[in-house]
Amino acid sequence: MRKQNTLKKIVSFRGVGIHSGKSSQIRIKPAPENTGILFVQKDQPIPFHVDYVKDTRNNISIGSGDALVKTVEHLVSSLYALHIDNCVIECSSPEIPIMDGSAHDFTLELLKAGTISLEKEREELKIEKPIWVTDGDKFIIALPYEGFKIHYTISFPHSAIGVQNFQTEFNKEIFISEISKARTFGFIEDLDSHLKSGLSKGVDFNNVHVFSKKENRSLNTPRYPNEPVRHKILDMISALALLNCDIKGFIIAYKAGHALDVLFAKKAASQIAKGKKTPLTFPNPYYYAFHSLGMEELPS
């Protein structure tokens, strides 16, 4: 087990929400140990935990009371991969800015800010026997493994995406170089239906890896040879962060997505709660009061 970490200083981001199309700004502040990842919207604290997930339709949304924050997955994936275990994220609007459609911008700025090691140890979930969830032919299964490894397969037949596989030992360095730049992706032919459903109002060619079913090709330049499956791993990491612990295990996913990712996290959390795994440390919303004093950094 390792020590918990937080940021050295405040980091800010500004952009538009990919679904709302509206301007959004966030401030990520350092936080004491055992805070976890804590969002704040409308002055309402929202812990990043399975009990606060409100929607998994094309994004992960969390909420508490009348406060809601959408599209948290790319930011949270960066925080988890960089071992930023404790922070407070103040949100000016109900959606996190999409930036370039990946986790790359978040990752670069968070790396620049740096981290501080705290006294408490980070909880760890060691997979001792299989945990799995299914939905038709889709599945996620976690197996015992001394390390953290992911194998992911996606299948979009009769399209330029096709079947893609990616397997990797997961760590900070791999995330930065092999996963963080992978953008959210979609088919241009689906855009009208998304717009009619109130989604994708902030989409453009600068924040989405766009494919055409009709032309059977990518309409903008790929960043990786198999960018879509890598983005699916990026998304899944954010759902695993709902557990608020490090993971030792081999996770295999086939045609999963936000809904199945969160379902898996809920099942893992329920087994932890039953005492079958290491107990979780739950975020404490009252730590937000510490940051309302306007402190830029934790006291030494």
* Positions of E strands within 92-238: 115-121, 124-126, 131-135, 138-143, 148-156, 162-169, 185-187, 209-212, 217-218
CB atoms within 10 A of CB 132: 12
To the query of whether residue 158 is one of the catalytic residues in this protein, the response is no
Answer for the pair 25, 135: CB distance below 8 angstroms, yes or no.
no
* Positions of E strands within the chain: 3-7, 11-16, 23-30, 37-41, 44-47, 53-55, 61-64, 67-69, 87-91, 115-121, 124-126, 131-135, 138-143, 148-156, 162-169, 185-187, 209-212, 217-218, 246-254
- Catalytic residue (one of 74, 209, 258, 291): 258
Angle at CA of residue 92, ends 86 and 97, nearest 5°: 80
Answer for the pair 172, 82: CB distance below 8 angstroms, yes or no.
yes
Question: DSSP label at 182?
Answer: P
Which tokens is 82 given?
Answer: 């960089």
104-113 and 73-81 are packed helices; what angle lies between their axes, rounded to 10 degrees?
40
Q: What is the CA radius of gyration of the chain?
A: 18
Answer for the pair 276, 127: CB distance below 8 angstroms, yes or no.
no
Distance (Å, whole) CA 139 – CA 133: 6
Instruction: Give me the active site residues, please.
Output: 258
